[in-house]
Structure 1
Amino acid sequence: MFTSSSCLHTSHFLQPFDVAVFGPFKRYFEKGSKTFPVLNNNRFPIKDDIADIACDPLIRACCPDNANAAFEEEGIVPLSLDGMMKGIIGNKPVVTCAGRTKR
């Protein structure tokens, strides 16, 4: 399995797992946290409950389909300049026919 690591200030196309794995995990975890009291006699979760709440969301979010989709959505695999450019906010570099970029 390919694992990437990059600085926190990089853009999304350099952090594909933020887009397709950690985003869904956060949503699934928040949903599980909100339903916990309903399923446990209105008891709020304590630190000992966190692993139990996070287990299913982690398995759902960290599946191979999400990991592969992350790299495809960001234009990394297969390499797609158009896919990468759509994730850039602000002034995008202009790519010339020779493959060089200019601002």
Structure 2
Amino acid sequence: MARHDILMRIKQAEADAKASVQQALQEKEKRIADATTEAANIVRTAESEAQAFYEKELAKAEGEVKAKKQSVISEGMRKVDALRSSANAKLDKAVEYLLKEFMGLLHA
């Protein structure tokens, strides 16, 4: 093999190696860009799912609080009505007692 042929083969091998390295670098950059895009999409999806979960749980908690509030109000109103009924029932007895006492003082 002639010296000229050997040099040409070496130059060709160097050019091929350089092209392979360049292609590998481009592939690396593409994979990094793709991975970055995919990671950003995953983060956006996770944030969206987290926000939806938060809103769902918040609505659930608000519903539970409203139900508990209504239960407390209803129980309070029931007790007020019971006290009112009891007071009304005792009112007649109290008036009768006061009248007897007053009449007793008048006759004394």
- Bin the TM-score by the shorter chain: under 0.3
More helix by share: 2
> Highest CA radius of gyration, 1 or 2?
2
When the two structures are superposed, what TM-score results if normalisation uses the length of structure 1? 0.25
